[in-house]
Amino acid sequence: MDTGAPGPAGPGEEGLLIPVRRGAMEPAPHAPSDAAPSMIGGVRAIRAWVDVAIVVVVLVSTNLVAHFTTVWASIAAVPVAAIVLLGMMRARGMAWSELGLSPRHWKRSTVYALASVVAVATVVVVGAVLPATREFFMVDRYATVSGALIAAMVVIPLQTAIPEELAFRGVLHGTLSRASGVRGVFVVGSMLFGLWHVASSLGLTAGKEGLSAIFGSGVLGQIAGIAGAVVATALAGALFTWLRRRSGSLLAPIALHWSLNGAGALAAALAWHLVA
């Protein structure tokens, strides 16, 4: 019975079977396009720079409020701004590790923190004791031991070291890392940290015996003091950034920042005591 189904080919019948390639009549698939990944990368880059711009605007506004408004604003502006910036960047998807606040780096960063404090304290104490360098530590507002202690243990860590490191080596560091990589973090971040200290350096030479002796307390001396402060703090910012990257955490730069300012306040009281 003929069922209509093709049977096996007999001798000489191989030529009658015409193979048809599967999908021969189907349209060829489109070649993969790089347009979508490029577009996504472009959006991410724009968003990263928008985040940097937001952080810079907040920092500039905070600096102006802290130095040119009321006393209470000068006390609260920087800590509040640091908390606000931290919350904003977390809301925009920044991880704790990008902000330098991941617990997994705390142990390593503690070692760097302790080493920083010991090194700075040693240099500062020696500088305050030696007659040749003592006058550079004689800051008027730290002439009393009680004032220096309050500044070193309360004001400096809560108003300066911790919030500034959260803002610069935490939030700004994280946004710059996304936008421009390591070079941007060091160059732009350090430059902005130096400029951050312009307002706080007004009248710097008039309040330090050693700087007044070198630059004077006039207008040119003040300009020289501001320029020197910007350069010095920019270099300090680069060092803080290096510590942040090396240790993976904010603990080390916070410790170094506090020790430079706090130990300096205590050394000022020691220097005034030695000449009394």
Q: Which residue has the higher pLDDT, 13 or 80?
A: 80
12: confidence class by pLDDT, cuts 50, 70, 90: very low
The one-letter amino acid code at 144 reads T
29 belongs to a structural domain: no
Tokens of 252: 């080390």
pTM over 0.85: no
69-117 residue pLDDT tens: 999 999 999 999 999 999 999 999 999 999 999 999 999 999 999 999 9
- Structural domain containing residue 180: 49-275
Question: CA nearest 115: which of 239, 206, 23, 218?
Answer: 239
Closest by CA position to 178, among listed 39, 61, 48, 9: 48
For residue 255, is pLDDT > 50?
yes
Asked whether residue 18 is assigned to any structural domain, the reply reads: no
Q: Quote the CA–CA distance of 126 and 139 in Å, as a whole number.
A: 16
Asked if residue 99 belongs to a domain, the reply is yes
How far apart are the C-alpha atoms of 120 and 69, rounded to whole Å?
Answer: 33
Give the residue among 260, 249, 222 at the shortest CA–CA distance from 112: 249
pLDDT of 139? 82
Residue 1 scores a pLDDT above 80:
no
- Residue 34 covered by a domain: no
Distance CA 100, CA 167 (A): 11
Q: How far apart are CA 63 and CA 58, in angstroms?
A: 9
In a domain, residue 231? The reply is: yes
What is the predicted pLDDT for the residue at 220? 75
* DSSP per-residue string spanning 166-199: IIIIIIIHHHHHHHHHHHHHHHHHHHHHHHHTTG
Across the range 210-239, mean pLDDT stands at 79
pLDDT value at 268 more than 80: yes
Domain count, the chain: 1
17 in any annotated domain: no
- Banded pLDDT at 13 (limits 50, 70, 90): very low
Instruction: Look at residues 236, 245, 111 and name the one whose alpha carbon lies nearest to residue 173.
Output: 245
Residue 3 belongs to some domain of the structure:
no
Is residue 24 a part of any domain in this protein? no
Q: Which of 238, 261, 239 is nearest to 192 (CA)?
A: 238
